[in-house]
Structure 1
Amino acid sequence: MKSFVYQSEKYGYQLEFEVNNWAERSFISLLTKFKDSRIFTTLNFGSEIPDLDFLPLTVDYEEKFYAIGKIYGSRFIRREGAPSLNSILNARLVDRAIRPIFPPIFRKEIHIVNLVFSYDSSIDPGLLSLLSSSFALYLSGIPIISPLGAVQICFKDGEFFINQNIDDAEMKLIFSGTEEKINMIEFEGKEIEEGLFLKALEIGFKEIKDLVKFIKNIKPLFVEEVKIDSSLFEEGDKKLEEFLNKNAIDLEKKLFNLVEGDKTWQEVFDLIKGNEEFGDLKPYVINSLNRRYKKIFQKKVLETKKRPDGRGLKDIRPLFAQIDVFPRTHGSALFMRGLTHILSTVTLAEPGEELWLRDIEFEGTKRFIHHYNFPPFSTGEIKTNKKPSRREIGHGELVERALKNLIPPQENFPYTIRVVSEVLSSNGSTSMGSVCASSLALMSAGVPLKTHAAGISIGMAYDSNDNYELLTDIQGPEDFFGSMDFKIVGTEKGLTAIQLDVKIEGLNLKQIEESLERAKEARIYLLNFMKGIIEKPKEISVYAPKIEVLKIDPLKIGLIIGTGGRTINEIIAATNVKIDIQPDGTLYIIGNQNSNFELAKNWIKSIADAFNLGEIVKGKVIKIFPFGAILELAPNRTVLLHVSEIAEKKIENIEKEVKIGEELVVKIKNISEDGKIYVSLKDVRK
């Protein structure tokens, strides 16, 4: 067992990597410590799969309820179940960061598992899992580009917080990189200016560099480098060259001067897959073709400044949008950018329809929900529809983060909001199209957004730090063969969400700044287009529930409910509404066009506003019993005047003291927690 401790000189935190034999049959077994958080990471290899055009890497992130000292799950099971939303997002976070640092021809199966054994809310466990996974990968001996450092930055009230979780932060940023480049960004913000975002990157990048230097000093202590046999890949290169020459295939013509959506370039893959002459070398020939296409794409774009579909570097595909697509949905919008077509719908519901979440990081509700669906027909494929993939969940969450800080607070707009984005046709940038479609649909539904938000993907053709070009609004081949997918969302005022994924070592700060400038230019263009479709929220649909809000003294909640719920049920039955009462005294009155909201509100007010402890009030006698008289203090509000509270003396015959129809002046003597009012006549007569 060996421990390696990184001490941040500037920010004072301590990060410890403990290499152990807990999982002795795994290739790497590692415990990462930060304050009271503990992340246990394992890394294992499998066989080589050369015919894949992607790295067979699987990253899992598993939360353990015992990490926070809780027993969750169904009462009949009481154990962890399917991965939570946060588990899926954290697994993707790690995967997106470490995938670019592998050698391009590495095709061994790799499985990295991060288990949260102890959770301290002061730090993001996804960040620790990223650091732990990177360290494990570096120790494994795989010839990666470099180990990664990573940092979390929050911003609030003019101050940056490094590797600290801050509630209600104006900006939350997690990013990773090497000593030279930033290779993954995950950002959420409340319309943050580009300059402030870049400042956060600059601060965090210095910490990343120090961490990477620390890790590199550990390298000699561990296993030998994993060797990659490139001979079969070289043989595949030769076979591909022979095949192309024999069949007079010009790959450049297959890839460029295409109408958008033309998949001529894929024909060569199909030819090779159907050719049995390659024998066991076929997977390596396919791999070679993929790498060859990438080189052609980069070279051609850099030389001609033109893209496969003929667009210039800054050109955005043709736009089309329509709102109110369906008559019965509460809001809907169709947004088209080239062959990427997104249909978003909005459903408004009462506060009680919120999404309940429970994991080790959060337990509570979410009132704004976005779901993203990517069906097979969106790419013309024939597949069985399955449960949402990690990618669909991740894209849905990205759009949600991009818009949630533009949604009005519940006290101003009490609805639960669900947006669903259906990808009807896909040719790149579907998540960014979903942002635009969702923003339009929310306005269509009458949700008073602060403003529209729009998203754009910036790509790159890259040869070196001095020779590269940025591509605005990437599509199909540019996504497959380009060097990055930089998703940037914001308003006219600032940034709301960012996600960077690369296929190279990463970007320097200058390239990131240029990408932000390019994205802002495109975003303003998109926002102007969207405002031409709908600039202000419409009236809420007649098919949506109507909700009105009242505030009462929390001590009066029992009065509204009444004994056994009698009072509130009487109001509900008479006015055709639902009433949702919150502990702080907020009442949501929910109904439809046929509900009598005014009667319900006045009824509640007459109960809540009429009576206070110690108050002197008038009550009309409506019934008499041997044990007391029933007084009506207000419409539908009756109380018992007990016989013992009528006079100081003992009363033998109550009917001699009070009469039906008589008005009595009484004092509110007590109000119980369940809303019962106790009055006294004798206290007034003293």
Structure 2
Amino acid sequence: MFNVTKKSIEWGGETLTLETGKIARQADGSVIATLGETSVMANVTFAKAAKPGQDFFPLTVHYQERYYAAGKVPGGFFKREARPSEKETLTSRLIDRPIRPLFVDGFKNEVLVIVTVLSHDLVNEPDILGMIAASAALTISGVPFMGPIGAARVGFVNGEYKLNPDVDDMQKLRENPEQRLDLVIAGTKDAVMMVESEAYELSEAEMLGAVKFGHEAMQPVIDLILDFAEDAAKEPFDFEPADYSALYAKVKTAGETQMRAAFAIKDKQERTNAISAAAAAIKASLSEEEQKDENLGSAIKKLESSILRGDIISGGARIDGRDTKTVRPIVSETGILPRTHGSALFTRGETQGLVITTLGTGEDEQIIDALHGNSRSNFLLHYNFPPYSVGEVGRFGPPGRREIGHGKLAWRALQAVLPAATDFPYTIRVVSEITESNGSSSMASVCGGSLSMMDAGVPLKAPVAGVAMGLILEDDGRYAVLTDILGDEDHLGDMDFKVAGTENGITSLQMDIKVAGITPEIMEQALAQAKDGRLHILGEMAKALTSAQAFSEYAPKIETMTIPTDKIREVIGSGGKVIREIVETSGAKVDINDDGMIKIASNDANAIKRAYDMIWSIVAEPEEGQIYTGRVVKLVDFGAFVNFFGKRDGLVHVSQIANKRLQHPNEVLKEGQEVKVKLLGFDDRGKVKLGMKMVDQETGQEIAPEAKTDAEA
């Protein structure tokens, strides 16, 4: 009944298996990839004809994690998976980016790739496996795909690269100073297609070494997919790219001069309008039949691309007059919003980000519900890209894949320099409002985010800057690497290579390729130029921070204390009674975690002190020999009971009240009186023994014993 094909190899200390022919047999390509006990299924379907007039390639990738894969039931009221999580959205982009350039030019049939996590062993990360499964499913589907690709995750521990680190290693990246890298790489047999990383100030050489290590490590996977396809691949889909060379020749003749003049305009809006006018003039010059040709859009785009690329590759100036290594003019400003905790406006050419920092307490942390378990994040970065930033009327609504992806890239760049939670116990939320965009708004978010957090008084380990690199790569091998690319250079170029970091090293790297990969030599040059650009931007940013930034008066003040874990129950109380009383009495917010760390937050320093003292009185133990301020709670014949330490009482024996003989304590004391007492010790039954006569009741200082004469001795 089933025609099953199954292949396996040993890879990274685990068995990697590809299987097809048993499940989802009506899909054009279906593969289940298994590594350890993590299994991911990829299903590919594609339309057998393009929609009339289709002028773009409609590829859709969906990655979805099912909670049953880890033996969990989803939370929420409906108890089922709902909208995609941030992880699912980011992984969908991760799979899309390396496969999209590998479809044959001119193929515009709709393609759908659905990747589903079926089983998760909580050791092997399913995102890498999802990329491998998708690559294998595309390779056997018959779709005109110039793959396969392989993928790998690379760690960097104690100077050594590690293939596919465990989930726990990556989840605790910030907590483990030895693990300095989480890099995901995808590529073909000969070249790298995509890189995405989170790093802790790695040098350019170390990052390049990680890319080379990952590319070499994925080669057995590519060989496995090719071997697998020999037995399981379907007949290739009959597709011939449209030949529109004659139409392109007419387009070029009709509009090259006007289009070239349009590209010579430096202002983005004027240039965009001029390019649109040139395209309209080209269409008007063509016959009615040629105007209806579905390849007309491709022909006009090819003309635009040839003008922009030809000028650069021949050694001429770029659109805005710069050479290949110059960064656009930069203006950095901080403290521009009066009531926010921190704010910055970062402008680079025609790209601008208004970035705001808000400091919150422990209850503002984000709870992340994932297959491997729940976790909390005290650093949030949200990126917004409204249509007005590019002068357009367009979709406006909840964040899409682009907003989530760009925000996560900026998050990765900045999280490496955050202070430890024990040193700065705040939840940090950074919001980047892109108010203008003409290339690399995500890197503007990195620069503005760094400035904004420093303006809020966040003690970053170092400022972070980012720059986007581009590439023009011709068929004859000539190429040009571009620093700080414009939107048109991104749109019509071959690479978007974003690099962020400090003076000491790289903290984040993301590379997308629109051609069939790049060589290590090109990447090495791009990293070198990116370093020069990053250092220049850091120098410009420093001009906005002429002195130490003051902590915002509007931000909550937080004090931390750590208590023994066996005292947590006493602080919380039965049903939370004690901690509610502390909050209500003091007026401060109190957060306590399982490790015994307590955060006390308020805008009122006195409220923090009240809460601190109340908690301390519960968890602390009185120390012998110390002097305390107490209150007389009861007088008896043999002494006075004094409440001196939280709810702790002790006895001042009548002989220890004063330096004279007393018949009864009421001769010098009354109930409710405030007194200074010294803790003398504990009796055999643990009862507290206190003394008053050796303490000056005015100053609270211990009275030095008078020296005895020889006769008295």
CA 1:580–1:416 in structure 2 vs 1: closer, same or farther (change >3 Å)?
same
Instruction: After TM superposition, give the deviation of residue 680 of structure 1 in Å.
Output: 5.8
Map 1:50-61; keep pairs closer than 5 Å. Answer: 51-61=53-63
Which stretch has the larger CA shift, 146-155 or 561-570?
561-570
Moved more, 88-97 or 272-281: 272-281
Match of 1:39 in 2: 40
CA distance in structure 2 between the partners assigned to 1:248 and 1:661 by the alignment: 97
Matched, 1:259 2:267: yes
1:242 Cα deviation from its structure 2 partner: 2.9
CA 1:73–1:460 in 2, change beyond 3 Å: closer, same or farther? same
Structure 1 range deviating more: 115-124 or 406-415: 115-124
1:203 paired to 2:218: no
SS at match of 1:304: coil
Paired residue type of 2:262: K
SS in 2 for 1:42: strand
Q: Which stretch of structure 1 is more off in the superposition, 195-204 or 408-417?
A: 195-204
- Which letter does structure 2 place at the counterpart of 1:86? K
Specify which of 7, 10, 16 is matched with residue 9 of structure 2.
7
Which residue in 2 is equivalent to 1:190?
A: 200
The one-letter amino acid paired with 1:69 is: G
Where 2:314 maps in the other structure, the secondary structure is: helix
Change in CA separation of 1:35 and 1:635 when aligned onto 2, cut-off 3 Å: closer
1:227-306 aligned at under 5 Å gives the runs: 227-230=238-241, 233-234=242-243, 236-246=244-254, 250-261=258-269, 262-263=271-272, 264-270=274-280, 277-278=288-289, 281-306=292-317
- In structure 2, the CA distance between the partners of 1:540 and 1:128, relative to structure 1 (3 Å rule), is same
- Give the one of 465, 473, 476 matched to 1:462: 473
What displacement does 1:574 show?
4.6
- How does 1:559-570 map onto structure 2 within 5 Å? 559-561=570-572, 568-569=579-580
For 1:401-416, list aligned pairs within 5 A.
Answer: 401-416=412-427
Q: Which of 458, 462, 482 does residue 451 from structure 1 map onto? A: 462
Which residue is 2:536 aligned to?
A: 525
More moved, 501-510 vs 201-210 = 201-210
| Shift in CA distance, 631/140, structure 1 to aligned 2, threshold 3 Å | farther
Q: What's 1:324 paired with? A: 335
In the alignment, residue 229 of structure 1 is paired with which amino acid?
Answer: E
| Closer/same/farther in 2, CA of residues 394 and 306 from structure 1, 3 Å limit | same
Deviates more, 1:58-67 or 1:592-601: 592-601
Query: Deviations along 1:616-665, whole A, 9 cap, x unmatched?
Result: x999763699xxx9965326525799xxxxxxxxxxxxxxxxx9689999
Instruction: Give the structure 2 partner of residue 645 of structure 1.
Output: none
Cα distance in 1 between the residues matched to 2:259 and 2:574: 80
Task: Give ranges in structure 1 of 5+ residues lacking alignment.
Answer: 642-658, 671-678
Q: 1:619-630 residue pairs with structure 2 within 5 A?
A: 622=633
Map 1:632-671; keep pairs closer than 5 Å: 632-634=642-644, 637=647
| Residue number in structure 2 paired with 1:160 | 161
Percent sequence identity over matched residues?
A: 33
Q: Does 1:547 align with 2:565?
A: no
Structure 1, residues 160-202: CA drift from partner, whole Å, max 9, x if none?
2212322433101111111211010011111111111122222
Query: Which of 478, 482, 489 is equivalent to 1:478?
Result: 489
Question: One-letter code of the match for 2:261?
Answer: K
Q: 2:594 matched to which residue of 1?
A: 583
Q: Which of 386, 404, 420 is residue 393 of structure 1 equivalent to?
A: 404
d(CA) in 2 for partners of 1:394 and 1:668? 66
Match status 1:357 vs 2:368: yes
Could you say which residue in structure 1 is the equivalent of 2:658?
none
Q: Secondary structure at the match of 2:295?
A: helix
Give CA-to-partner distance per residue, 1:19-75, whole Å, 9 cap, x none.
12421221112111111011111101124146455321000001100000011221x
Over 3 Å counting, the alpha-carbon distance change for 1:668 and 1:376 in structure 2 is farther
CA contact (8 A) 2:255 2:279 kept: no
Q: Separation in 1 of the partners of 2:641 and 2:575? A: 19
- When residues 620 and 146 of structure 1 are mapped into structure 2, their CA distance, relative to the original with a 3 A threshold, is closer
Listed one character per residue, the Cα deviations across residues 402-441 of structure 1 (whole Å, up to 9, x for unaligned) are 1011110110000000000011011110101110010110
Taking a change above 3 Å as real, the CA distance of residues 681 and 333 of structure 1, as seen in their structure-2 partners, is: closer
Aligned to 2:70: 68
Aligned position for 1:673: none
Q: Distance in 2 between matches of 1:325 and 1:243?
A: 49
Question: Pick from 499, 504, 517: which aligns with 1:506?
Answer: 517
Tell me the TM-score normalised to structure 2 length: 0.84
C-alpha distance 582-243 of structure 1, shift in aligned 2 (>3 A):
closer
Separation (CA, whole Å) in 1 of partners of 2:226 and 2:573: 69
Counterpart of 2:79 in structure 1 is 78
- What SS does structure 2 have at the residue aligned with 1:423? strand
Cα RMSD between the aligned structures?
3.3
Distance 1:152-1:639 versus aligned 2 partners, 3 A rule: same
* Pair 667,54 (structure 1): closer, same or farther in 2 beyond 3 Å: farther
Given that 1:329 and 1:347 are in contact with CA atoms closer than 8 Å, whether structure 2 keeps it comes out as yes
Amino acid across the alignment from 2:598: L
Which residue is equivalent to 2:125? Answer: 124
Following TM superposition, by how much is the alpha carbon of 1:571 offset from its aligned partner in structure 2, in angstroms? 4.5
**Greater CA deviation, 465-474 or 511-520?**
465-474
CA distance in 2, matches of 1:565, 1:212: 57
Matched residues in 1 for 2:684 and 2:419: separation? Answer: 42
SS of corresponding position for 2:504: coil
Instruction: Say whether 1:20 aligns with 2:21.
Output: yes
In structure 2, relative to structure 1, the CA distance for the partners of 1:384 and 1:160 (3 Å cut) is closer
Opposite residue 80 of structure 1, the aligned amino acid is: E
Cα shift at 1:246: 4.9
Alpha-carbon separation, structure 2, partners of 1:240 and 1:268: 15
1:252/1:360 Cα in 2 relative to 1: closer, same or farther (>3 Å)?
same
Closer, same or farther in 2 for the Cα pair 1:666/1:316, shift >3 Å?
A: closer
Contact 1:458–1:474 (Cα < 8 Å) also in 2 = yes
- Counterpart contact for 1:269–1:286, Cα < 8 Å: no
CA contact (8 A) 2:135 2:147 kept: no
Deviation larger for 165-174 or 421-430 = 165-174
Change beyond 3 A, Cα 1:479–1:397? same
Mapped to 1, the partners of 2:213 and 2:576 lie a distance apart of: 58
Letter in 2 for 1:61: Y
Higher-Rg structure is 2
Kindly state the Cα deviation for residue 237 of structure 1 after the two structures are TM-superposed. 4.1
- Equivalent residue letter for 1:284: N
Aligned to 2:526: 515
Q: State the alpha-carbon separation in 1 of the partners of residues 70 and 577 from structure 2.
A: 41
Structure 2 CA distance for partners of 1:590 and 1:321, relative to 1, 3 Å: same
What whole-Å deviation, never above 9, does each CA across 1:496-539 have from its counterpart, x for those lacking one? 11110011011111111111000000000001111111166512
What is the deviation of 1:386?
1.3
Q: Residues 210 and 623 from structure 1, CA distance in 2 versus in 1: closer, same or farther, beyond 3 angstroms? A: same
- Check 1:278–1:139 CA distance in 2 against 1; reply closer, same or farther (3 A cut): same
Once the two structures are TM-superposed, the CA of residue 209 in structure 1 deviates from its matched residue by 2.9
The residue number in structure 2 matching 1:107 is 108
One-letter amino acid matched to 1:22: I
Aligned-pair distance for 1:293?
A: 2.3
The letter for the 2-side match of 1:18 is: E
Greater Cα offset, 453-462 or 360-369: 360-369
Confirm or deny that 1:342 pairs with 2:350. Answer: no
CA distance in 1, matches of 2:458, 2:306: 47
8 Å CA contact retained: 1:332, 1:344? yes
Report what 1:649 is aligned to: none
Aligned AA (2:234) = V
Counterpart secondary structure, 1:313: coil
1: distance between equivalents of 2:684 and 2:395?
A: 69
